[in-house]
A and B are shown apart, each in its own frame.
Chain A
Amino acid sequence: MATTSTPGGAAPRTSLWGRLDERIGGYAYIAPFFIVFGLFGLIPILFTAWVSLHQWGALSDPTFVSFDNYARLLADPRFWNAAFNTLSIWVISTVPQLILALFLAHVLNETLLRGKGIFRMAMLVPNITSVLAVGIVFSSIFGRDYGLMNFLLESLGLNRVDWQASQPSSHVAISTMVMWRWTGYNTLILLAAMQAIPRDLYEVAAMDGAGRLRQFFTVTVPQLRNTIIFVTIVSTIGGMQIFTEPLVFGGTQQAITGGAARQYQTLALFLYEQGFRNFQFGYASTIAWVLFIVILGFSVVNLLLTRRIARD
């Protein structure tokens, strides 16, 4: 192998040993990642692709069925239902969450604010709690007959809601868990980005007579473009895989199907149902790949959309 120096790099004068050390070291240092990821990430992923072309049940051998599983999946109403639920829960949890986080970050960005540390800490604590714990607590809050939320609604003279029973109400309840856990975290991230915005921009805007609200929309939001994209993509990746919240919300009996009408079964739950309840490894693997493609597609669309919105 010849000496191909990386273009652009300010090549220092070093010995042959130094260059070798750098090159070999480079590979050696990233090797653990690729080895472990290869074994526990890449191989399973490729293997999943192979499995998805087979019919494979518990305690039996796989038979090759080509793309049958994919055709079956696309014709399976349970799949479309789960896809819709996933999307719906993602939208209901992400959009208000982002708006709320932006707002809270803006408020926290007040320079003369007292008790900053406490408020920031309050933003952090929900996020360090496990999803399972959050699920258990919120399931009790959203109980139909003795849940706190219904007690509250009733005290306000409103009707109680059977949270699990319908699609909209169950989605709202599940989204609440997601929002509670992530709004604060995203607030901190947005806050950090806000603080990095050069103050001159505000000064200029202020001299142009822009009020605080105008400043927010003409300076803050556009400057946060990259961060908003980042936050959205992260929430997309998480949102498409949502599993524990609906699982715990459903208690023990109806959890995996997401209710009697599959009203809150997400794609990850559907995958789990096929893979580890029905032990249809072929079909479950098919769902996994389609889920992956959906996530990839969403991330790309997201990137494009958010870019455009932020630019306008």
Chain B
Amino acid sequence: MTRTAPPVAEETRTRRRVGRYHAGPGIGTYVVLVIALLLSIFPFYWMFVVASNGTDAINRIPPEIMPGPNFLDNVSKVFERVAMDRAMLNSAIVATVVASFQTFLAALAGFAFAKLRFRGRNVLFVFVVATMMVPLQLGVVPLFMITKELGLVNNLLAVILPGLVGAFGVFWMRQHIAGAVPDEVIQAARVDGASSFRTFRSVVFPMVRPAAAILWLLTFLGAWNDFFWPLIVLGKPESFTAQVALRQIQNTAYVTDFGVDMAGTVIVTLPLLILALVVGRQLIKGIMEGAVKG
């Protein structure tokens, strides 16, 4: 299903029409939504409450439910236990590289699948989509062995390389390119003598840039939050990603300090929260549009 009208226009249109049939939402609607909102936010609040107190404030009945004064203290303990700055940098590198490659390669492949004609195109596309069903765990043992053969254990490349492409991205970009770029535009470029890559670069990609941006964000989030594979393959502190470092904090020492654990959680989550505040609107729009297209 494609949709060419900008969503904003559509919304105003529907607003006007439905308005005739019933009045605005009642108080019940808001109550429901506010409850949902509180449930969404509460774990973040709790994270901060624990991170700014300490284990003893939490391990008692009744537990502390207000933020305390120890946040910075706990944060500095996080850095004592694990090189969190290095881990965050590693995650930023991994997530940026993975997101950028995946987006670019997905756009390229999506373009080919949507607009170029070549033998086996449809079969290959179905294959790509089918790979989305393959669980990560399926190949993890040999993947580890391959990584070992390549000498990449404890190397960020071990996490980056398998992430350079993604079936979801190809699918996503193909759907958007098929929907947003009319065939006539491609043909016109071709008649002008543009090569297919040039067509891609100067005609197609600019038209789907917003969709590509959303894909970049989603991939970035996914790579930032990836845990299963990095936990297995990244064993040395200088190669830890933020998630592995977080697990490390939890494990470090026999001594459990919830305050420090949670301070670590806050540190790892905060960049994403900020990101969400900055680009959340577009991200939501992108996710919703993608849903309609899929």
Contacts and interface: CB of A to CB of B under 8 A. Distances in A.
Given A26-B112, A291-B135, A295-B133, A131 B284 contact: no
Contacts of B29: 107, 110, 113
A30 B141 contact: no
Interface in B45-64: 46-47, 50, 58-63
B235 to A, nearest CB: 12
Contacts of B137: 241, 243, 268, 271-272, 288, 291
A112 B170 CA distance: 37
What secondary structure prevails in chain A residues at the interface with B?
Answer: helix
B284 A124 contact: yes
Contact of B14 (A47, A199, A206, A237): A199
B273 interface: yes
Interface in A108-159: 108, 110-113, 115, 117-126, 128-134, 136-138, 140-141, 145-146, 148, 151, 154
A132 B190 contact: no
A241 B37 CA distance: 28
Contact of A184 (B3, B40, B196, B232): B40
A53 B131 CA distance: 23
Given A32-B108, A275-B140, A288-B138, A132 B247 contact: yes
A230 interface: yes
A125 B40 contact: yes
A5 B161 CA distance: 36
Nearest to A136: B265
Contacts of B17: 199, 203
A39 B147 CA distance: 10
A294 B76 CA distance: 46
B206 interface: no
Interface stretch (B81-89, B208-216, B220-228): B220-228
Given A40-B162, A146-B60, A111 B19 contact: yes
B236 interface: no
B116 interface: yes
A5 B117 contact: yes
A12 interface: yes
Choose among B33, B41, B47, B243 the residue with the greatest number of A CB atoms under 10 Å from its CB.
Answer: B33
Interface stretch (A162-170, A187-195, A257-265): A187-195
Interface string B106-119: 10110111001111
B43 A30 contact: no
Residue of A37, A39, A117, A123 most packed against chain B (CB within 10 A): A37
A206 to B, nearest CB: 6
Nearest to A112: B24
Nearest to B39: A180
A51 B227 contact: no
B139 A26 contact: no
B138 A48 contact: yes
B151 interface: no
A118 B37 contact: yes
Contacts of A22: 116-118, 196
B141 A227 contact: no
B246 interface: yes
B258 interface: yes
Interface in B178-235: 183, 187, 190-191, 195-197, 200, 221, 224-225, 227-228, 232
Interface residues of B, number: 109
Interface in A231-287: 237, 240-241, 243-244, 248, 252, 268, 271-272, 275-276, 281, 284-285
A30 B129 CA distance: 13
Given A40-B161, A113-B29, A193-B292, A185 B135 contact: no
Contacts of A191: 288
Contacts of B41: 122, 125
B46 A133 contact: no
Nearest to A207: B21
A32 B109 contact: yes
A234 to B, nearest CB: 9
B146 A39 contact: yes
Interface in A2-37: 4-6, 9-10, 12, 14, 18, 21-23, 25-27, 29-30, 32-34, 36-37
19 contacts: A25-B197, A104-B33, A112-B25, A118-B37, A121-B276, A124-B276, A125-B41, A125-B276, A136-B246, A136-B265, A137-B47, A148-B63, A151-B62, A180-B43, A192-B289, A230-B291, A237-B133, A252-B250, A291-B135
Given A146-B63, A276-B232, 20 more contacts: A21-B195, A23-B116, A25-B195, A32-B109, A36-B164, A37-B131, A41-B134, A44-B141, A45-B139, A119-B36, A124-B284, A129-B269, A132-B247, A145-B59, A146-B59, A188-B284, A189-B287, A192-B288, A275-B140, A288-B135
Interface of B: 1, 3, 7, 10-11, 14-15, 17-19, 21-25, 29, 32-33, 36-37, 39-41, 43-44, 46-47, 50, 58-63, 105-106, 108-109, 111-113, 116-119, 121, 124, 128, 131-143, 145-146, 161-162, 164-165, 167, 170, 183, 187, 190-191, 195-197, 200, 221, 224-225, 227-228, 232, 243, 246-247, 250-251, 258, 261-262, 265, 268-269, 272-273, 275-277, 280-281, 283-284, 287-289, 291-292, 294
3 A-B pairs closest in CB distance: A44-B139, A192-B288, A26-B118
